[in-house]
């Protein structure tokens, strides 16, 4: 039977050969794995790769610095070698079924493939990194969805995976493609580390620039401010609470008014990509009790209690029943209050008035009685609020760069494989 041939939309320069369809079984060999559970981890000189680690950690390539659990194995065993591919054969999300990692070229720690994994050793026709990125394509995910089985946990068999047909170019072009995506992944990882660093910096400043328990002044202050902070009830800080509790509006998928829910909170601005519910113009104008305005503090009161965002200028949006919008009095800076509520102490305070175990919640009538330690100097509030606003803007800017890199990778995965 004649081999099928194709070429991708986008490819490395100078390469002109057709890509050839191959069966995965003909591109290497499956090896031995050790189906031990997490219960026997923690001792022994060997490291093992558990399918859960493949799903939850951003490995891509395993090297000597990768954090893998140790395990003690009795009897004979088969080590994974540099270039081996470890494939997760199970997942709670079918989109991750068959997710893979590769043992890096310079890795010399003793590793075995563990629970719910396949170990595959490529032959001279398959570059490990090429397959790693092929397994992230829409083409592969479509295959794993069609051949996978299960309802709550999805699985794929070695036989089905071995019979998978994929198109491969020359080994040299495979190596170029693998190296290209590895560099892109390193850029993404660097960007993720940069974001984590700024977020850690913000968390540290939130601890130092707001008084902690037993303190009346913060450890770190702007020059020129020395007065002790004062205790104020939330009702003395805000003059209005926008609350639509008890108002379950009829939804309309074609509506232009997004309903902000708790899942959209947590960053400075509401995240509209998480919005799933909309209402129409009539419902917006006639059904709701009240409306949020720009600079209102959006405060979750059910489930993940105390998560906050500051309302942006979206005049079409409204809030769900599990959120209240606090409007600051003129003597309080909204940016300062957003930073105040982002502090870990806020979560401690509100959790003291939580009701319910299955679905924890707080009453707004109780929430406005909570005491907060605040600066009574409006200029100090402004400086603190502006400082954290700038940090949040930096985080947002870096996250946009990460999002751009992620979309770039998705586009290349779509165009550079067939």
| Mean per-residue pLDDT pooled into runs of 10, the chain (418 residues) | 77 90 97 77 83 87 90 82 95 90 93 92 98 96 92 92 96 97 96 97 96 93 96 96 89 96 96 96 94 97 94 95 96 97 91 86 94 96 98 96 97 96
Which of 117, 137, 168 is a domain's end point?
168
Predicted pLDDT of residue 2: 59
Tell me: do 158 and 186 sit in the same domain: no
Residue 51 lies in a domain: yes
With respect to residue 219, please indicate whether it lies within any of the assigned structural domains: no
Whether 251 is in a domain gets the answer yes
Q: Let me know whether 330 and 288 are in one domain.
A: yes
Tell me how far apart the alpha carbons of residues 182 and 250 are, in angstroms, rounded to a whole number. 48
pLDDT for 59 equals 82
For CA atoms 133, 134, 139, 144, the dihedral sign is: negative
Name the DSSP letter for residue 355. B
Residue carrying structure tokens 């109780």? 366
Q: Indicate whether 13 belongs to any domain.
A: no
| Claim to verify: residue 244 and residue 354 sit in the same structural domain | yes
- The confidence score (pLDDT) of residue 7 equals 87
Do residues 188 and 255 share a domain? Answer: no
What integer pLDDT is reported at residue 38 of this predicted model?
67
Same domain, 306 and 394: no
In this prediction, residue 115 carries a pLDDT of 86
Residues 409, 357 within the same domain: no
Helices (H), 217-322: 234-237, 281-286
Gap between the Cα atoms of 311 and 237, Å rounded: 17
305 close to 351: Cβ distance less than 8 angstroms: yes
Q: What are phi and psi of 373, to 5 degrees?
A: -90, 120
DSSP string, 98-134: T-EEEE-TT--S-EEE-TTEEEEEE-TT--HHHHHHH
- Phi first, then psi, for residue 329 (nearest 5°) are -70, 160
350 and 397 part of one domain: no
Give the per-residue pLDDT at 57: 83
Q: What is the CATH number of the domain that holds 244?
A: 3.90.220.20
pLDDT at residue 402, as a whole number: 97
Write down which residue in 121, 149, 168 finishes a domain. Answer: 168
Tally the domains of the chain.
3
Residue 31 and residue 85 in contact, taking contact as beta carbons nearer than 8 Å: no
Sign of CA dihedral 277, 282, 284, 289: negative
Whether residues 61 and 42 fall in one domain: yes
Residues 402 and 353 grouped into a single domain: no
128 plus 44 within the same structural domain: yes
Tokens for 191, please give them.
């960007």
Mark whether 33 and 154 lie in a shared domain. yes
Domain that holds residue 136: 19-168
239 domain-assigned? yes
30 and 161 assigned to the same domain: yes
Question: Which of 138, 168, 198 is the endpoint of a domain?
Answer: 168
- What whole-number distance in Å separates Cα of residue 10 and Cα of residue 37? 42
């Amino acid at each position: 039977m004649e081999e099928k041939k194709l070429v991708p939309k986008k490819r490395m320069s100078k390469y002109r050969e057709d890509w050839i369809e191959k069966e995965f079984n003909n591109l290497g060999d499956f090896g031995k794995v050790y189906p031990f559970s997490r219960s026997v981890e923690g001792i022994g000189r060997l490291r093992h790769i558990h399918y859960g680690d493949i799903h939850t950690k951003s490995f891509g390539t395993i090297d000597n610095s990768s954090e893998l659990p140790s395990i003690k194995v009795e009897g004979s065993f088969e080590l994974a070698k540099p270039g081996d591919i470890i494939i997760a054969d199970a997942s709670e999300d079918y989109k991750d079924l068959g997710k893979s990692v590769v043992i890096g070229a310079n890795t010399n720690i003793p590793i075995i493939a563990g629970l719910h994994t396949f170990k595959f050793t490529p032959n001279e026709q398959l570059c490990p990194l090429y397959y790693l990125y092929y397994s992230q394509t829409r083409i592969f995910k479509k295959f794993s969805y069609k051949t996978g089985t299960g309802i709550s946990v999805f699985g794929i068999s070695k036989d089905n995976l071995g019979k998978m047909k994929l198109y491969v170019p020359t080994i040299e072009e495979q190596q170029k493609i693998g190296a290209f995506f590895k560099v892109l992944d390193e850029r993404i990882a660097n960007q993720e580390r940069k974001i984590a660093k700024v977020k850690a910096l913000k968390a540290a400043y939130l601890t130092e620039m707001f008084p902690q328990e037993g303190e009346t002044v913060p450890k770190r202050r702007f020059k020129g401010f020395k007065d002790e902070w004062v205790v104020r009830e939330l009702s003395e800080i805000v003059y209005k609470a926008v609350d639509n509790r008890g108002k379950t509006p009829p939804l309309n998928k074609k509506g232009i008014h997004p309903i902000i829910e708790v899942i959209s909170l947590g960053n400075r601005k509401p995240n509209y990509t998480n919005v799933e519910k909309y209402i129409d113009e009539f419902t917006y104008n006639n059904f709701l009790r009240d409306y949020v305005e720009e600079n209102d503090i959006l405060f979750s009161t059910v489930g993940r209690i105390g998560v906050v965002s500051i309302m942006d200028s979206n005049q079409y949006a409204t809030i769900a029943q599990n959120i209240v919008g606090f409007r600051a009095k003129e003597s309080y800076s909204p940016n300062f209050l957003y930073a105040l509520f982002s502090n870990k102490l806020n979560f401690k305070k509100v959790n003291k008035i939580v009701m319910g175990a299955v679905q924890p919640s707080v009453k707004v009538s109780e929430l406005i009685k909570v005491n907060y330690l605040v600066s009574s100097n409006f200029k100090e509030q402004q400086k603190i609020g502006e400082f954290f606003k700038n940090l949040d803007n930096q985080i947002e800017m870096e996250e946009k760069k990460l999002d751009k890199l992620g979309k770039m990778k998705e586009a290349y995965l779509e165009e550079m494989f067939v």
